[in-house]
Copies of this chain bind each other. A is one copy, B any other.
Amino acid sequence: MNYPSKLVEDAVNEMAKLPSIGKKTALRLILHLLKQNEVATESLADALLKLRRQICYCKQCHSIADQEICSVCKSHSREKELICVVEDTKDVLTIENTNQYRGLYHVLGGIISPMHGSGPDQLNIESLVRRVKEGNVKEVILALPSTMDGETTSFYLAKKLKESEVKVTSIARGIPLGSDLEYMDELTIGRSILRRTSYE
């Protein structure tokens, strides 16, 4: 595409680096900003820069935080003996929004993925093992993706945590509530039958 100005081209190229934003969408967003007041662009740029420069991560669970220790880790009403291990902060937000979980979190910051060249050393695994050993942790819930890499990571963590004699569990896999069997993939259906639960 030929852009009418180098400024537009640069902005489109930068915007299109964001995931799921192509050049056409980027151009649309940028022409929208041009139609708005200058303040709109300034406050967007400002919010992004501030975020990137001032962001902190919780020293205990590695989730995004306002202070040194995040509000979940600091809270007195959470069950400190329960840790849920997730891939990134997005998952913490997702689980928090359910209002169902009252334990703490541990953000790995990714998963083991030999294909993408990320090994266990790049993840927050050592600090998890330390938390489990030093704290009074009774159960670690693994809530990692059910992909090949996710399963590998779960397996690796389960092995690492074996020495600590902590209970390691995984979130339940099965048919989502409200879903029709008809539209489910065979792997999920097969697994939901194998791992059936007894009626209480």
Stretch touching chain B among A43-51, A146-154, A188-196: A43-51
Say yes or no: is A116 at the interface (Cβ < 8 Å to chain B): no
Known contacts A18-B32, A48-B41, A52-B33, A93 near B27 by CB under 8 Å? yes
Contact A44 B93 (CB under 8 A): no
A108 to B28: give the CA distance in the assembly, Å.
17
User: Main SS of the interface on chain A?
Assistant: helix
Say yes or no: is A75 at the interface (Cβ < 8 Å to chain B): no
Identify A45's interface contact among B25, B29, B49, B90, CB under 8 A: B49
Say yes or no: is A170 at the interface (Cβ < 8 Å to chain B): no
Contact B31 A52 (CB under 8 A): no
Please, which residues of chain B bring their CB within 8 A of the CB of A97?
A: 1-2
Please, which residues of chain B bring their CB within 8 A of the CB of A47?
A: 7, 10-11, 13-15
Chain A, interface size category, equals: 35 or more
A180 to B34: give the CA distance in the assembly, Å.
37
Say yes or no: is A100 at the interface (Cβ < 8 Å to chain B): no
Return 10 A-B CB contacts under 8 Å, by A number.
A4-B66, A5-B55, A7-B51, A8-B51, A11-B51, A34-B52, A34-B64, A41-B48, A41-B49, A42-B52
Residues of A that sit less than 8 Å from B by CB: 1-8, 10-11, 13-15, 17-21, 25, 27-35, 38, 40-56, 63-66, 70-71, 88-90, 92-93, 96-97
